[in-house]
C-alpha cells in the first residue's frame, strides 16, 4: 500500500472556495491561516491506516476530531472537510 501522508504534507494546497466550504461545514469563522494550521495538525497526527484512497481522492479520517478531509491526489488540493460521527 502506497504512503500518501508525506506527499500530502509537503504539497497540500487550497482554493479560495474551500476556506468558505470548511467554515460552513464547521459552522465557524476561522481565518485561512487557522484552517491551514488545523488541517496540517490533523493530518500530521492521523495514522496512515486512516488514509483511504478512492479513485483520485484520498480520505483522511480522524476520529478524535470527528473530521474527514478529502484531498485530490493529482493536485494535493483540499476538496472538502466533513464531520463524522
**pTM above 0.75?**
yes
Q: What residues does each domain of the chain span?
A: 5-83
Q: What is the mean pLDDT of residues 56-66?
A: 96
| Res. 83 pLDDT band, cuts 50 70 90 | very high
Q: Which residue has the cell 491506516?
A: 49
| Interior/surface letters 12-48, b for 16+ CB within 10 angstroms, e for the rest | beeeeebbeebbeeeeeeeeeeebbebbeebbeebee
Confidence band, pLDDT 50/70/90 cuts, at residue 2? low
Nearest CA among 83, 52, 51, 49 for reference residue 68: 83
58's enclosing H/E stretch is strand 57-62
Amino acid at each position: 500500500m502506497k504512503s500518501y501522508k508525506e506527499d500530502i504534507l509537503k504539497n497540500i494546497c487550497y482554493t479560495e472556495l474551500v476556506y468558505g466550504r470548511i467554515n460552513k461545514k464547521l459552522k465557524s469563522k476561522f481565518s485561512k491561516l487557522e484552517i491551514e494550521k488545523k488541517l496540517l495538525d490533523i493530518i500530521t497526527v492521523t495514522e496512515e491506516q486512516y488514509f483511504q484512497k478512492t479513485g483520485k481522492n484520498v480520505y483522511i479520517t480522524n476520529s478524535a476530531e470527528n473530521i474527514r478531509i478529502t484531498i485530490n491526489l493529482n493536485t494535493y488540493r483540499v476538496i472538502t472537510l466533513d464531520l463524522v460521527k
